[in-house]
Amino acid sequence: MQFAEHGNYTIHPQGNILVVDAHGPFNELTADLYIQDMYDACEKFSGKTWGLLVTFYGNSVFSPEAEQALIEVTKYRMKKGMIANATVILESSSADLQQMQLRRIYQGCNLTFHVFSDVYSARNWLESFVVKQSNAM
């Protein structure tokens, strides 16, 4: 979805990983569209074990309303088989705050997650984790 002045994102599956690239802060319209697109994307994984790889580009601090919406969509994703999240924060002057908010969201949902500074490491960890957990089930 493309709304440059309001942030933009892409969501696409790659094997057992759902990949999200998010640029800039989202306004309410973009956040609402993201949530709906995320619900739709999760349906493709229903019944499978999968992980979420999110890369944030720029400052993406969440409003209290956006944080609550992310909690709800995280619970939904977990019901649809998501077992872990790998987040990458790039080009951000508020990375510490972003990481704190994400920790609050994912720990509150009891989801395994890690924050990385590069996509390669994040993808390697997530793919390995999902395979190990899938084999253990």
d(CA 102, CA 89): 11
Residue type, 113: F
Q: For position 115, what pLDDT does the model report?
A: 95
β-sheet bridge partners, residue 23: 8, 57
Dist CA 55 CA 98 (whole Å): 12
What pLDDT digit, counting tens, does each position of 106-123 carry? 999 999 999 999 999 999
pTM, entire model: 0.90
Cβ burial, residue 93 (10 Å; 0-12/13-18/19+): exposed
- Percent of the chain at pLDDT exceeding 90: 60
Q: Give 4's pLDDT tier (boundaries 50, 70, 90).
A: very low
Model confidence at 2, in pLDDT bands (50, 70, 90)?
very low
pLDDT tens for each residue of 62-82? 778 778 888 999 999 999 999
Q: Which residues pair with 12 in a beta bridge?
A: 19
